[in-house]
Amino acid sequence: MFTVPHHQDPIAARGMSQDDAAVLRARRATWPLRVVARGAEPPDGLDTTREQRIEMMWELTVQAWRLAGMPIPDYDRANTPVRLVRRNLRPLG
């Protein structure tokens, strides 16, 4: 079993008790999931183009930043704050 160091433990990072985490896990276990092969996705019910959907997401982004009371970040891609997480993944088999 893979263990996460305490400083990276998402439960500890959120200040949750193990009981609270168990409740959240139990709730997630009831979420409806469906596995669908790529290309066999059911219609999404939106009669829109890709461009229109991207435009819709931009509007949601603008609203989210406005609700947060923060300006939309304005930096070039080279200065985008990111965190690279390297995992020691072993091949299966």
- Residue 26 belongs to a domain: yes
> Can you spell out the DSSP letters for 1-58?
-----GGG-HHHHTT--HHHHHHHHHHHHTS------TT-PPP-S----HHHHHHHHH
Total count of domains within the chain: 1
pLDDT level of residue 9 (50, 70, 90 thresholds): low
Greater confidence (11 vs 70) lies with: 70
Amino acid symbol at 79? N
- State the residue range of the domain holding 18: 1-32
- Residue 23 belongs to a domain: yes
Specify the pTM: 0.39
- Residue 92 belongs to a domain: no
Distance in angstroms (rounded) separating the CA atoms of residues 53 and 21: 34
Judged against a pLDDT cut of 50, whether residue 34 lies above it is answered with yes
- Residue 2 belongs to a domain: yes
Amino acid symbol at 10? P
Judged against a pLDDT cut of 60, whether residue 6 lies above it is answered with no
Residue-level pLDDT at 2? 47
- Residue 65 belongs to a domain: no
- Residue 43 belongs to a domain: no
pLDDT level of residue 92 (50, 70, 90 thresholds): low
The pLDDT tens digits of the residues spanning 45-70 come to 778 888 998 999 999 999 999 999 99
Distance in angstroms (rounded) separating the CA atoms of residues 13 and 17: 10
Is residue 18 within 8 Å of residue 11, measured between CB atoms?
A: yes
- Residue 76 belongs to a domain: no
